Amino acid sequence: MIRSRFSILSKRRLLVFWWTALWSLSACAQELGEGVQVHGFISQSAVHNSDNKVGGNSDDELAWDLRELGANLSWRPNPDWLISGQALARWAGDSDEGELRLDYGFIDRTLIADGDDQIGVRLGKIKNPYGFFNTTRDVAHTRPGIIMPQSIYLDRIRNFLLSAPGAAAYGNHASDRMDCSWSLAALRFDADDADLEQLFLLEDRPGKLVSDTSWIAQVMSEIDGGRWRIGLTLGDVNMHFEPSAGMALLFPLPHPLHLDGGRNRLLPYVLSLEHNTEKYSITGEYSQIKHDSRDYGSSALANGLQRPNTIEAWYLQATYRPTPDWRVYLRRDEVFLDKDDRKGLLVSPGFPGFAKFAKDWTLGVRYDVDSWSFSAEYHKVHGTLWLSPLDTPLSSQKERWDMLLLQAAWRF
């Protein structure tokens, strides 16, 4: 009991510290000089699950461990140059424990700015142009819900998806009825992630995944001032597995769990479509990711991992805005680790079939006032592909579960 009270008190002190820090930043943002902008945000969520854990200890109890704190700075010394970066601390269970990190940081050079046309380049740790929302998912106010549609924007591999070191070229063209933008980036994704290994190697193996040169391209169009939005994202993502010396010692040949240094290749595409009116929005995205792995050896485990699969995912969300400050939304969200095995019948020992898919109904409401946003969201989920085994081990996962989220967010 004493320990529990101490933990609650410590969290409250931590939140007071961050609130004070961000408030101080917002107060001095106007004094940093011409061409400099500072913005920040903080969000705190409460989570209650019927089963399983999301963002901390939320299995059949109210959990307060899901929060984000961030600040970003941009400096434009002249119209052609931009330097921008963001630091973030995020708490989301054992997969994110509040370590301060660089979310993104880049230098941007505008090469052409001629009336309706613009072309530029970026270098550094840049946000990945993936679907409608990946480049804005870091701030709670810009998301389509408290949590992203997990079919397309899987939070358990957020660090892998959000940004990566590399270089990108981008451009846009504006006309009377249509604005068209494009980007092409060469990147090295952050592949050294335990959740990424859980997803593609079925568990955290002795060794690590290492990113190789990858590509991602996107074209987006807005018609009639945003009444219609259409997008296509294509990628070629490459990584390889480097087994540690312990792999050979633990599982020497011809052990059935032995793995050589294999390679993984992901070929994703995302189709994005949105229709907006004054009070209604309909947003949908569909994705397939072809996954090929090879060179893991000839053991029983390697043969299972080297079976090609295609990840299929989609969501459809309807949003109603009765007033500018209120919105209500309903979303259907589905993802399958293998589109040819939707029920998860082809599984490895100890890997439940329902861990290969997730199907979710979401009902949410949000109220915005000044710089604040208050949201509530209810999920009814079948399957556990969303879940990080770091928080809820595969042996403890329940196939059907409900989740209630409450969130308060502030930004400046």
**Of 60 and 94, the one with more pLDDT:** 94
* Confidence at 10, pLDDT banded by 50, 70, 90: very low
Mean pLDDT over the full length of the chain = 88
Domain tally for the chain? Answer: 1
Per the domain annotation, does 21 fall within a domain? no
CATH number of the domain enclosing 248? 2.40.160.10
pLDDT at 277: 96
pLDDT of 5 higher than 50: no
pLDDT of 377 higher than 60: yes
pLDDT of 1 higher than 80: no
Is-cis flag, bond preceding 324, omega within 30? no
pLDDT at 366: 98
pLDDT at 26: 57
Asked whether the CA dihedral 201, 202, 208, 212 is positive or negative, the reply is positive
Interval 246-274: pLDDT, tens: 666 667 777 777 788 889 999 999 999 99
* Confidence at 14, pLDDT banded by 50, 70, 90: low
CA distance 124 to 102: 11
SS (H, E, C) 109-162: EEEEEECCEEEEEEEEEEECCCCCCHHHCCCHHHCCCCCCCCCCCCHHHHHHHH
Domain holding 260, by residue range, is 32-411
* Confidence at 117, pLDDT banded by 50, 70, 90: very high
Per the domain annotation, does 26 fall within a domain? no
Per the domain annotation, does 289 fall within a domain? yes
pLDDT of 7 higher than 50: no
For 122-133, give one letter per residue: b (16+ CB within 10 A) or e: bebbbbbbbbbb
Per the domain annotation, does 20 fall within a domain? no
Interval 122-167: pLDDT, tens: 999 999 999 999 999 999 999 999 999 999 999 989 989 999 999 9
Per the domain annotation, does 245 fall within a domain? yes
Per the domain annotation, does 16 fall within a domain? no
Per the domain annotation, does 296 fall within a domain? yes
Interval 344-353: pLDDT, tens: 887 666 678 8
Interval 296-344: pLDDT, tens: 887 777 787 888 999 999 999 999 999 999 999 999 999 999 999 998 8
The mean per-residue pLDDT over the stretch 44-61 comes to 81
pLDDT of 3 higher than 50: no
Give the percent of the chain with pLDDT over 70.
Answer: 88
Q: What are phi and psi of 14, to 5 degrees?
A: -65, -45
This prediction has a pTM of 0.90
CA distance 126 to 108: 10
pLDDT at 204: 78
pLDDT at 8: 46
How many angstroms from the chain centroid is the CA of residue 138? 8
CB 335 within 8 A of CB 385: yes
Per the domain annotation, does 14 fall within a domain? no
